[in-house]
Amino acid sequence: DQQVKQNSPSLSVQEGRISILNCDYTNSMFDYFLWYKKYPAEGPTFLISISSIKDKNEDGRFTVFLNKSAKHLSLHIVPSQPGDSAVYFCAASANTNAGKSTFGDGTTLTVKP
């Protein structure tokens, strides 16, 4: 049973437009959610996170929204840039779980010039 799901394997958007990446989770014990970005042949790098006590966190062009009742979060990138083309992983963790994170399968974002 996959506890973190990213149902869209890929997403293609035009440069300058908004990219919206979605993530669903099933475990109500999760209280932190993180997004990582991964380029080919590199390790994932942390992008942005949100605590379960918040419904929005913003960092520059990146905003994460959390809907606890729906167990759904989304990452908005606006405006999208070609350099944003990468695989984006959603991850969830519980504060009492030794920092262990459960990852989704990732969404490959392609931003076309």
Partner 1 sequence: NAGVTQTPKFRILKIGQSMTLQCTQDMNHNYMYWYRQDPGMGLKLIYYSVGAGITDKGEVPNGYNVSRSTTEDFPLRLELAAPSQTSVYFCASSSTSGGGQPQHFGDGTRLSIL
Contacting residues toward partner 1, per CB under 8 A: 4, 6, 9, 30-32, 34, 36, 41-46, 49, 51, 89, 93-101, 103-106
Nearer to partner 1, 9 or 82 (CB): 9
CB of 65 to partner 1, least distance (A): 16
Nearer to partner 1, 65 or 79 (CB): 65
CB of 32 to partner 1, least distance (A): 4
Using alpha carbons, select from 37, 43, 48, 44 the residue that is nearest to residue 107: 37
Residue found by looking up tokens 């475990």 in the block: 27
Nearer to partner 1, 20 or 94 (CB): 94
CB-neighbour burial class of residue 11 (10 A; exposed 0-12, middle 13-18, buried 19+) = middle
CB of 15 to partner 1, least distance (A): 26
CB of 80 to partner 1, least distance (A): 22
Using alpha carbons, select from 101, 105, 111, 2 the residue that is nearest to residue 46: 101
Residue found by looking up tokens 């990852």 in the block: 103
Nearer to partner 1, 15 or 31 (CB): 31
The number of angstroms, rounded, from the C-alpha of 95 to the middle of its chain's C-alpha atoms is 18
